[in-house]
């Protein structure tokens, strides 16, 4: 059994049981953004998390074991991505990425924002002009260190 097979099983069970990713996260006690990424194949689950997801979605022990394996990360099969929602995020980084980089360096110095020590949140904001998406990236600053 491979990770894409388990992801397909998860999506089938989610649909069959009428569950949202948010409901699955609430029932397993995990952050909804992190768990959604994990269920889509981007993070390994702990044994406890995998068991909880397997119980909730009626997955096999083999599937739970696969959920605990460290996956190859990254979901782009081609660049630029073709899914419109993902493409718009990619486009936003193409346009604003250099400015974000310049401002990170200006505010913090020479370094990067970690995507390993990282949190991400997505929220809906209702405004008079219609709904808006708020995405918060919260990464630890890691300064470049040269030499030993």
Q: Which residues have a Cβ under 8 Å from the Cβ of 4 and sit 6 or more positions away? A: 41
Among left, alpha and beta (phi > 0; psi -120 to 50; other), residue 68 is alpha
Q: Is 52 a catalytic residue?
A: no
- Residue 127 pairs with which residues in a beta bridge? 130
CA of 26: how far to CAs of 12, 52, 141, in Å? Answer: 19, 11, 29
Q: Is 91 a catalytic residue?
A: yes
Q: Is 88 a catalytic residue?
A: yes
**Separation between Cα atoms, residue 28 and residue 48, nearest integer Å:** 9
- Which of these is catalytic: 77, 88, 124, 125? 88
- Which of these is catalytic: 46, 48, 114, 132? 114
- Which of these is catalytic: 48, 73, 91, 132? 91
Q: Give catalytic residue positions.
A: 88, 91, 114
């Amino acid at each position: 059994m491979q990770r894409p097979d388990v992801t397909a099983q998860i999506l089938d069970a989610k649909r069959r049981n009428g569950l949202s990713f948010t409901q699955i996260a609430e029932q397993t006690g995990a952050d909804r953004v992190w768990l959604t990424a994990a269920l889509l194949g981007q993070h390994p689950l702990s044994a406890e998390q995998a068991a909880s997801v397997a119980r909730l979605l009626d997955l096999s022990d083999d599937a739970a074991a696969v959920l605990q394996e460290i996956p190859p990360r990254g979901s782009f099969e081609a660049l630029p991505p073709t899914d419109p929602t993902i493409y718009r995020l990619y486009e936003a980084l193409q346009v604003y990425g250099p400015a974000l980089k310049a401002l990170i360096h200006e505010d913090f110095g020479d370094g990067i924002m970690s995507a390993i020590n990282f949190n991400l949140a997505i929220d809906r904001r209702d405004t008079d002009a219609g709904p808006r998406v708020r995405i918060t990236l919260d990464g630890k600053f890691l300064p470049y260190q040269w030499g030993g």
